[in-house]
Structure 1
Amino acid sequence: MTDRFIRAEPAPQRPPPKLAPPFLTLARENLFGDASSSLITIGIVALIILAAPPLWRFLIANAVWSAPDGALCRAPGAGACWAYIAAKTPFFIYGSYPPDQRWRVDLAFVLAAGLIVWLLWPRAPRKGVAAFGFFVLLPFVGFALLSGAPSLGLPRVGTNLWGGAMVSLLVALAGIVVALPGGVLLALGRRSDLPALRWVCAGLIEFVRGVPLIAVLFMANAMLPIFLPPDWSPDRLLRPMFGIALFASAYMAEVARAGLNSIPGGQAEAAQALGLGRVATLRFVVLPQALAAVIPAIVNNFVALFKDTTLVAIVGIFDFLHTVDAARLDPNWAGPTIAATGYVFAGLFYLIFCLAMSSYARGVERRLAAGRRQDSI
């Protein structure tokens, strides 16, 4: 009786499991899974089919790629005036910064980009050196390059001449650099056991989050000179930068607090049982896990902050969108399609930077998820 249960020959080999479902199966499950999904998919496809031809004609087929002025762009049937973008690109990037000194702007942003890549590259060595260079040295070196240092042979350039993309990137970079550590400190202060510190941090967070960014910018622009001595009055560009940094820190504080609340108390207790102090426990155990848990919210705040830099134009700062809006007033480049092209270019500028931040955040999430899977094996 037992012979019938004993296999005399090896079992036939089966094909390896497929790592991913076929495209048609994936599309059917995600796009046509039920009636509502099917209707939404069909509606989106129909919208794309209707919108794609006119966009193609305006942006590509009928576009004016090269012209000495806006005459060709004003002709009947002309599409996007990319010649206008090419002619005004230096103004869009530097504003009224002196042309013979624009190399200083280029050098400052090359240094910043190099340090950012060094910090964000996962396998880059000596990240402590990169962090010191980015958070400590770069502000002083960048300010000396952009503003000027006569002792080093760099003539002064007033911030009233700064404008364009350099101002937008500078304001966004300052806000992002301050927002994360400032938000973490405010979140820790709000969770503190010291009542005075907890009330001050909670009051600051709720006050800043309870008013619009425009009000914060006006307060920073009008009230900072009142509370400081005349000799210490901040520059007209530093005032909105301070307001944006404060606003972003308050919102980041609530994101960081959510991450801290998601960490079980046993994590800190286990670290302290191993002999780690409170600061070491926060640095090596609690904060890495808390911030990793709220990466999507952090990036969402950064994306919103980058787009909100356009509001500095309200207090007289010549940001990128303001330069695009001002350039269309040039009579040599006046025309409805020319203005529309400028705004399309501005939208692409912000879209590219926001997509880059989102893509990097998704990559970080995938690496963290892979590491957690390996740890659980």
Structure 2
Amino acid sequence: MSDSAVSSFVRRELIPERAAPVEMVGLIGFLRTRLFNSPVNIFLTVASLVLLWFVVVPTVEFLLVDAVWSGKDRTACLAENVGHPVGACWPFVEAKFGQFIYGFYPEQERWRVNLTFFLGAVLLLPLLIPRLPAKGLNAGLFFAAFPVVAFFLLRGGGLDGFGVSWVTNLLSGFAAGIGDLGQTLRRAGEATANIGPLLQLLGHLVSLLGAAISLLIWPLVWLNGHIQNSSRPVWVDLVATTVLVSLILFLLGGGFRAGWRMLMGSLATFAGIGVVIATMGLDRGGLPLVDSGLWGGFLVTMVVSVTGIVTSMPIGIALALGRRSTIPLIRLFSAGFIEIWRGVPLITVLFFATYMLPLFLPGNFRVDGLVRALIGIALFSGAYIAEVIRGGLQAIPRGQGEAANAVGLSWWQTTALVVMPQALRHVIPGLVNSFIGLFKDTSLVSIVALFDLLGQVHASFADPVWATPSTLFTGFAFAGIIYFVFCFGMSRYSLFVENRLNAHRK
């Protein structure tokens, strides 16, 4: 190749300087890449800033800048006395704070509520921190022992008996209810001409069923009679229940061959129950009785929401598995249950549980009004949770179950160890969304005369001592802040759990 050809490829001038690279990190990079990278994003950014200006600034002025922080009555929150437009009237919240938290719970007994909150936090926080050990023991205390202790702390009272007495009374009431139904059918048959014989026959069959149940539970009735005639019925009943339950678990666990572990676990559990009974004095009447009608405020909100969240999960899991079952009866029952409960509003469920459910119970069987509302909310929420979990189950490939079967796992082991953990990991956002909705829906219990936080705040507006133009907005702002803190906390913790469980995918 000639020298002239080679020299034609050699540049004889310097290359012009390039422009400085666009900054893609830091605040300027964030503004350039996220907020002002296109005309549409520029418009949305400016519009959002204007919206925040007209929303955030007045909110801050109302809650902090123009707020009144001290006072004893409504005169401290009037503009003519303060000399400027009045924002939030925080003395109102301070004066009504006990009512917002405890409702009408007796003031001298409010330490029981505080102790319940403290025990719940102490047992819940270790469950939320993954690195802490003894999760099994912690979960057992929180989900099994804490509800019982909280019930007797909040309600008070003691025990007249234990497991044998409770089961005997329940079955006796059920048998009596069936017997009453049989008598009703026979009387209806006597008053009806066309289908009278059929109703009488049905009434005799139902009465015979009630008599058969009464005959079957006669050993329990006999044992309960001897327990109640003893000098210390609670402890005798506890011992009898311990013996019966431990014996059943021992036999189901394999008897003398492999049942010793279940036997030791049962004995240890009942020993712990005995310690709780002795510590709280439940065999001697316990603490002073506080009727649930006096509960209110944040206490009712937490009781309803925590009970609903905890109980709706097993209900939802059972219904989701039942709807995917290969047994037609179980599948139809689960699908019907879900569709019926999802097809009615929560207010209707609360009305039915509070005012109509007692009509279907035996005459001598009573359920507390708060408990009836809790049952209705748990079943209602469980139907929604079931569909969320079913969506997660459908996302699991069939090969997961087939691989588990190939290594010899049973259906229960496959579901508990392989399928369900993966399904729950997929539906964490949906589950937390349902929990947040349930936490906020607790305000609907005020429809059935249960004053939660929002209902208690609304009831406090009737006090003429604090009747000012800003009192209404202050009360709702206080309730809104509490709801936001708890809902935002659940949302952030769910993101933490999601990121931790999905770390292997990154």
TM-score, reference length from structure 1? 0.91
Q: Distance in 1 between matches of 2:35 and 2:352?
A: 49
What is the 5 A alignment of 1:16-27? 21-27=25-31
Tell which has more relative contact order, 1 or 2 (C-alpha 8 A, sep 6+).
1
Alignment partner for residue 205 of structure 1, among 324, 338, 354?
338
Q: Which residue of 1 aligns with 2:429?
A: 296
Native 8 Å contact 2:300 2:451 kept in 1? yes
Higher deviation after alignment, 20-29 or 301-310: 20-29
Q: Which residue of 1 aligns with 2:197?
A: none
Q: Distance in 2 between matches of 1:104 and 1:346?
A: 23
Instruction: State the Cα distance separating 1:205 from its structure 2 match.
Output: 0.2
Aligned length: 354
Partner deviation per Cα, 1:304-350 (whole Å, 9 max, x = no partner): 00000000000110111011011111111111201110000011010
Q: Which residue of 2 aligns with 1:117?
A: 125
Native 8 Å contact 1:72 1:78 kept in 2? no
What is the 5 A alignment of 1:299-338? 299-338=432-471
Aligned CA distance change for structure 1 residues 359 and 239 (closer, same or farther; 3 Å): same
In the alignment, is residue 238 of structure 1 matched against residue 238 of structure 2? no
Q: Which residue of 2 aligns with 1:29?
A: 33
Alignment partner for residue 105 of structure 2, among 97, 111, 126?
97
Q: Which residue of 2 aligns with 1:49?
A: 53
Q: Distance in 1 between matches of 2:378 and 2:339?
A: 15
Partner deviation per Cα, 1:144-164 (whole Å, 9 max, x = no partner): 000002525400000111000
Higher deviation after alignment, 317-326 or 362-371: 362-371
Q: Distance in 2 between matches of 1:153 and 1:299?
A: 37
Q: Which residue of 2 aligns with 1:253?
A: 386
Greater Rg over alpha carbons, structure: 2
Q: Which residue of 2 aligns with 1:132?
A: 140
Gaps of 5+ in 2: 1-23, 159-283
Partner deviation per Cα, 1:117-154 (whole Å, 9 max, x = no partner): 12221112111112211221111111100000252540
Instruction: State the Cα distance separating 1:233 from its structure 2 match.
Output: 2.2
Native 8 Å contact 1:224 1:234 kept in 2? no
Higher deviation after alignment, 70-79 or 356-365: 70-79
Instruction: State the Cα distance separating 1:23 from its structure 2 match.
Output: 3.2
Higher deviation after alignment, 168-177 or 224-233: 224-233
Alignment partner for residue 351 of structure 1, among 473, 484, 490?
484
Q: Report the RMSD for the aligned CA atoms in angstroms.
A: 1.5
Partner deviation per Cα, 1:211-238 (whole Å, 9 max, x = no partner): 1111111111122212222332211111
Aligned CA distance change for structure 1 residues 107 and 188 (closer, same or farther; 3 Å): same
In the alignment, is residue 167 of structure 1 matched against residue 300 of structure 2? yes
Native 8 Å contact 1:31 1:41 kept in 2? yes
Q: Distance in 1 between matches of 2:407 and 2:28?
A: 53
Task: For 2:108, give the aligned amino acid.
Answer: D
SS at match of 1:336: coil
Partner deviation per Cα, 1:252-291 (whole Å, 9 max, x = no partner): 0000000000000000111111121111111111111000
SS at match of 2:92: helix
Name segments (4+ residues, structure 1) moved above 4 Å.
none
Q: Distance in 1 between matches of 2:37 and 2:447?
A: 47
Q: Distance in 2 between matches of 1:231 and 1:180?
A: 31
Alignment partner for residue 59 of structure 1, among 60, 63, 87?
63
Q: Distance in 2 between matches of 1:168 and 1:212?
A: 19
Q: Which residue of 1 aligns with 2:403?
A: 270
Q: Distance in 2 between matches of 1:253 and 1:32?
A: 44
Task: For 1:87, give the aligned amino acid.
Answer: A
Q: Which residue of 1 aligns with 2:349?
A: 216
Native 8 Å contact 2:70 2:76 kept in 1? no
Aligned CA distance change for structure 1 residues 28 and 246 (closer, same or farther; 3 Å): farther
Q: Which residue of 2 aligns with 1:5?
A: none
Q: Distance in 1 between matches of 2:376 and 2:39?
A: 48
What is the 5 A alignment of 1:131-150? 131-150=139-158
Higher deviation after alignment, 204-213 or 142-151: 142-151
Gaps of 5+ in 1: 1-19
Q: Which residue of 2 aligns with 1:7?
A: none
Q: Distance in 2 between matches of 1:37 and 1:178?
A: 45
Native 8 Å contact 1:224 1:233 kept in 2? no
Q: Distance in 1 between matches of 2:364 and 2:32?
A: 68
SS at match of 2:72: coil
What percentage of aligned pairs have identical amino acids? 48
Alignment partner for residue 505 of structure 2, among 343, 368, 372?
372
Q: Which residue of 2 aligns with 1:78?
A: 86
SS at match of 1:232: coil
Q: Distance in 1 between matches of 2:427 and 2:450?
A: 32
Task: For 2:382, give the aligned amino acid.
Answer: S
Task: For 1:127, give the aligned amino acid.
Answer: K
Task: For 1:234, give the aligned amino acid.
Answer: V
Q: Distance in 2 between matches of 1:159 and 1:34?
A: 59
Q: Distance in 2 between matches of 1:222 and 1:33?
A: 60
Q: Distance in 2 between matches of 1:266 and 1:195?
A: 24
Instruction: State the Cα distance separating 1:110 from its structure 2 match.
Output: 1.3
Q: Distance in 2 between matches of 1:360 and 1:27?
A: 28
Task: For 1:296, give the aligned amino acid.
Answer: P
TM-score, reference length from structure 2? 0.68
Instruction: State the Cα distance separating 1:180 from its structure 2 match.
Output: 1.3
